[in-house]
Amino acid sequence: MNESFSPGAGIGVMGGGQLGRMFAIAARQMGYRVGVFTPEEESPAGQFADFARVADYADEAEVRRFAHDVDVITFEFENIPAETVGWCAESREVRPAGAILHIAQNRLREKDFLAGAGIPIAPFRAVCSSQELADAVAQIGYPALLKTAAFGYDGKGQQTIHPRADFEEVWNATSADELVLEKAIDFTAELSVIVARGSDGAMKTFPVCENIHRDQILDLTVVPARIDQQVERDAAELACAIADRLELVGLLAVELFLKPGGELLVNELAPRPHNSGHWTIEACATSQFEQQVRAVCGLPLGATEILRPAAMTNILGDVWQDGEPEWSSALETEGVHLHLYGKQEPRPRRKMGHLTALAESAEEAIARVSTARAALARSAK
């Protein structure tokens, strides 16, 4: 359906986290009403919404009531129960479609989809027992990564399998019934591409992001990525091919590995705004959140050219371990912008906010955001 929703319409957001918060800010700036459905009281997204419905995703009556109160529904994270999505879709347009969320919720379904579409990915096998794990390792080889099929992010639910591994012991230590074994990839860079696709099939990609992880959590993103132009083009083409195959209406983040010879392998998909796209708020003609509003509401997609080189780093709850950070210390660095997510309880590894730095070059942006974060960490001691 190619229905459009003009400013003044109500957008329903499933999920109350920071992605929903930044989406709500963009949507309200454009004149939309925003409703948030979340089980969480005082959620980051609810703080900026016109209204928040606090209820469990399994509460059919509340879900249907929420859908009735908005005009179109989208998501700020993909792990919404399929039944909940179905209730929404009975009365309202859901963008992206529930079928796309169903694929992205499960690593095995996602990899089967990508393989079936001819998209390059790492070798993988489904694993449902210790014997299947042993067989999969024999086929794929070492080193390999064993991951839960569902509900894994920021390195959660995965471990490296080495030659000395006891497969029976590894399997017994898992709490999941279904896992995926992947070949560990020797890569020179981790990249991501965010692509928007409208209800009319029009697509636009944001510049490729170069991502650096620490302890399996995104630590720093820099744009423009320090890669060859051909790699940039290839990454954008892959993202568009996937979005088209999914018949996406909305936003899709495609995470990739760049191998030493220039080959790209797709790692994961996220049909929503992405942590690596937060820099677009200050450094792009259209932010990823405004672009999500445009795509979901059937408006023309915005321009995606970069305005200035940028680097973004996450602020984790660890910074609070010695008390409230002195934010002015970070903001003394020229070109730095602070975003906090309104979360009440800082915890180790929890994403509490981010810093973005703009500069004349990628290297200078990295230096600025690193200086700002270091100052923030020192001030908390």
171 pLDDT band, cuts 50/70/90, is: confident
309 pLDDT band, cuts 50/70/90, is: very high
Q: Which residue has the higher pLDDT, 323 or 124?
A: 124
- Separation of alpha carbons 315 and 180, rounded Å: 30
pLDDT at position 154 over 70 = no
Residue 62 belongs to some domain of the structure:
yes
Partnered with residue 180 across adjacent β-strands are 126, 147
Q: What's the mean pLDDT when you consider all of the chain?
A: 94
- Separation of alpha carbons 274 and 253, rounded Å: 6
- Domain ends where: 138, 157, 183? 183
- Separation of alpha carbons 272 and 96, rounded Å: 8
Handedness of CA 116, 120, 121, 125 (dihedral sign): positive
pLDDT the model gives residue 158 = 77
151 pLDDT band, cuts 50/70/90, is: low
Whether 281 and 163 share a structural domain: no
pLDDT at position 360 over 70 = yes
Residue 279 belongs to some domain of the structure:
yes
Q: What is the gyration radius of the CA atoms in the chain, in angstroms?
A: 21
Whether 271 and 353 share a structural domain: yes
Whether 143 and 195 share a structural domain: no
Mean pLDDT of 13-38: 98
170 pLDDT band, cuts 50/70/90, is: confident
- CATH classification of the domain holding 151: 3.30.1490.20
Whether 358 and 304 share a structural domain: yes
pLDDT the model gives residue 373 = 94
pLDDT digits 0-9 by tens, 253-302:
999 999 999 999 999 999 999 999 999 999 999 999 999 999 999 999 99
Whether 88 and 157 share a structural domain: no
pLDDT at position 314 over 60 = yes
- Domain ends where: 183, 209, 234? 183
Whether 179 and 269 share a structural domain: no
**Residue of 346, 334, 340 lying closest to 371 (CA atoms):** 334
pLDDT the model gives residue 31 = 98
For residue 215, the enclosing domain spans: 189-379
pLDDT the model gives residue 176 = 73
Whether 333 and 231 share a structural domain: yes
- Structure-block tokens of residue 218: 């995104």
- Separation of alpha carbons 248 and 273, rounded Å: 13
- Domain ends where: 79, 94, 109? 94
pLDDT the model gives residue 107 = 94
184 pLDDT band, cuts 50/70/90, is: very high
Whether 31 and 127 share a structural domain: no
pLDDT at position 243 over 80 = yes
Residue 105 belongs to some domain of the structure:
no
310 pLDDT band, cuts 50/70/90, is: very high
Residue 368 belongs to some domain of the structure:
yes
- CATH classification of the domain holding 47: 3.40.50.20
Residue 14 belongs to some domain of the structure:
yes
- Separation of alpha carbons 192 and 288, rounded Å: 13
Mean pLDDT of 20-49: 97
Mean pLDDT of 121-146: 92
- CATH classification of the domain holding 325: 3.30.470.20
pLDDT the model gives residue 52 = 98
- Separation of alpha carbons 123 and 184, rounded Å: 9
pLDDT at position 152 over 60 = no
Q: Which residue has the higher pLDDT, 350 or 176?
A: 350
pLDDT the model gives residue 378 = 66
Residue 84 belongs to some domain of the structure:
yes
Name, in order, each residue with C-beta under 8 angstroms of 138's C-beta and a sequence gap of 6 or more.
none
**Residue of 52, 50, 53, 18 lying closest to 32 (CA atoms):** 50
Whether 162 and 310 share a structural domain: no
Residue 243 belongs to some domain of the structure:
yes
pLDDT the model gives residue 157 = 63
Whether 146 and 238 share a structural domain: no
pLDDT digits 0-9 by tens, 57-116:
999 999 999 999 999 999 999 999 999 999 999 999 999 999 999 999 999 999 999 999
Strands 10-14 and 72-75: parallel
pLDDT the model gives residue 165 = 77
Whether 69 and 196 share a structural domain: no
pLDDT the model gives residue 153 = 57
Please give the tally of structural domains in the chain.
3
Whether 131 and 232 share a structural domain: no
150 pLDDT band, cuts 50/70/90, is: confident
